[in-house]
Amino acid sequence: MDQATMNMPLLGDIFPEMTVQTTHGPMTLPEDMNGKWFVLFSHPADFTPVCTTEFVGFQKRFAQFQEMGCELIGMSIDQVFSHIKWVEWIKEKLDVEIEFPIIAANDSIAMQLGLLHPGKGTNTVRAVFIVDPFGKVRLILYYPQEIGRNMDEIVRAVKALQVSDKQGAMPADWPNSDLIGDRVIVPPAGDVFLAKERLEQYEGYDWWFCHKPLEK
């Protein structure tokens, strides 16, 4: 097992402590995000086509993340002056102003998060870490260099995690599940008595598959 694998945070782990330089100045994670959700996403390199489409995609949904109390943070191993110039280029050429900070990581930080792409030099993989207000890693996504991310799925994942924490489990494709729409799955019964009561209390297909309305 290599060092990068050993240091990777797992679901439920506290996000690794790190002090980083960003396009918005120094930042300490997860401390500076205490009490907030945040999405940290890495990209292979500045001034590349797929990464440019992703940054525009994230920025187009910036307001949606803000409405959910969730901050966006980009990251690659490019130096901060490269990030700044790239952000300027995106504004000048594409008329999109990037409002979230971008971390200028080093190899050590990338290895802490398991981001160095095997066989691709110092390029970082397209990783996504969704971290809750307590600093816990709640969801991790990894994409290869060749495949751009689906930003709407990341918005959906944050929203689903927030709802799930308060109401129950989320079905596939929530809030547009083929079986139950935007309803929430009731936690499974823990004993035979609750199992017998389930279909009297909730709608469902069986006692182990009950659901309830989404609380708005």
Catalytic residues: 51
Identity of residue 107: D
Q: Kindly calculate the radius of gyration of the chain based on its CA atoms and give it in whole angstroms.
A: 20
Q: How far apart are CA 195 and CA 199, in angstroms?
A: 8
Q: Could you tell me if 153 and 25 are in contact, meaning their C-beta atoms sit under 8 angstroms apart?
A: no
- 26: buried, middle or exposed (CB in 10 Å: 19+, 13-18, 0-12)? exposed
Pairing, β 126-131 against β 37-42: antiparallel
H or E element: which one contains 20? strand 18-22
Q: DSSP states of 46-91 as a string?
A: SS-HHHHHHHHHHHHTHHHHHHTTEEEEEEESS-HHHHHHHHHHHH
Q: How far apart are CA 65 and CA 199, in angstroms?
A: 36
